[in-house]
């Protein structure tokens, strides 16, 4: 199995060039972010397209593009963003797909069309297990996966832990199915009341870390057996994901250090 690490631009500080330089120096293989023109909307800082592309080349970083479906027509939103994303030659696309409030028939229609778009452009697309989206829970995701055997996942199991208010002890069958479809992992540790622990290395969250690592190792074994590549992003995020101290508004942990700690820990799981 080939394991590749990516760093999200979410929560990064400084100029875009400084961000890319720092990511490359830390040993990441690439970056994960929305398309350049959408970065300011989602992450809060500008990213000029030509500079973005030149920095990828200069620092020899691969790119995972994020698309985030929105508005009333999620199918059109997905198609339009994927059409734009492929012009950046991404290794894959991570998609926040559809909405949890959509009727199941509309969710089925969305993923049927999404698969057709993926087949047209021949870029792997992982649909993220994310709160508020069609794949917000293990059970809803399992039904979709059984309906569409070619559907692939970006696994962010921290969201499911939060949604289910448990470490998914009663979701073993659905977890096994999901694990078979994972092509990319968001290596963030959640707990029963939130999608991000203050620091994954803190001993008080050892149980949560162990649960997530067991799921990740199952994904790794699946890819090792198949001889396929697996990628991961230690996707810990800033406020409001990062807890803050009352009255001071200070983050309880250093975000860059947390992501580096998780990167190193994840790579030791192989």
**CA 66-67-72 angle, 5° bins:** 160
Residue ranges of the chain with pLDDT lower than 70? none
Q: How many domains does the chain have?
A: 1
pLDDT at 265 (0 to 100): 98
Within 10 angstroms of residue 86's Cβ, the number of other Cβ atoms is 16
pLDDT of 1: 84
Of residues 233, 131, 109, the one with CA closest to residue 182: 233
CATH number at residue 63: 3.20.20.150
Q: Determine the structural domain holding residue 110 and report its residue range.
A: 2-267
> 127-142 pLDDT, tens per residue?
999 999 999 999 999 9
45-88 tens-digit pLDDT: 999 999 999 999 999 999 999 999 998 899 999 999 999 999 99
Global pTM?
0.97
- Report the distance separating Cα 47 and Cα 30, nearest Å: 16
């Amino acid at each position: 199995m080939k394991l590749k690490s990516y760093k999200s631009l979410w929560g990064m500080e400084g100029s875009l060039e400084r961000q890319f330089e720092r990511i490359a120096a830390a040993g990441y293989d690439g970056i994960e972010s929305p398309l350049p023109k959408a970065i300011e909307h989602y992450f809060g800082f500008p990213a000029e397209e030509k500079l973005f592309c030149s920095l990828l080349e200069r620092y020899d970083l691969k790119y995972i593009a994020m698309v985030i479906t929105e508005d009333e027509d999620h199918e059109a939103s997905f198609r339009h963003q994927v059409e734009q994303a492929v012009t950046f030659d991404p290794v894959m696309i991570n998609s926040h797909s559809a909405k949890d409030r959509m009727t199941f028939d509309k969710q089925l229609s969305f993923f049927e069309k999404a698969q057709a778009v993926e087949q047209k452009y021949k870029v792997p697309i992982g649909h993220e297990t994310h709160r508020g989206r069609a794949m917000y829970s293990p059970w809803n995701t399992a039904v979709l996966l059984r309906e569409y055997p070619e559907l692939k996942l970006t696994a962010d199991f921290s969201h499911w832990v939060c949604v289910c208010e448990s470490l998914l002890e009663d979701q073993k069958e659905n977890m096994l199915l999901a694990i078979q479809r994972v092509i990319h992992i968001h290596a963030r540790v959640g707990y029963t009341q939130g999608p991000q622990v203050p620091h994954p290395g803190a001993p008080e969250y050892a149980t949560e870390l162990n649960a997530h690592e067991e799921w990740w190792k199952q994904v790794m074994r699946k890819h090792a057996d198949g001889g396929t590549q697996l990628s991961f992003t230690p996707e810990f995020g800033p406020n409001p994901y990062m807890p803050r101290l009352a009255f001071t508004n200070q983050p309880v942990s250093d975000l860059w250090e947390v992501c580096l700690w998780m990167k190193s820990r994840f790579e030791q799981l192989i």
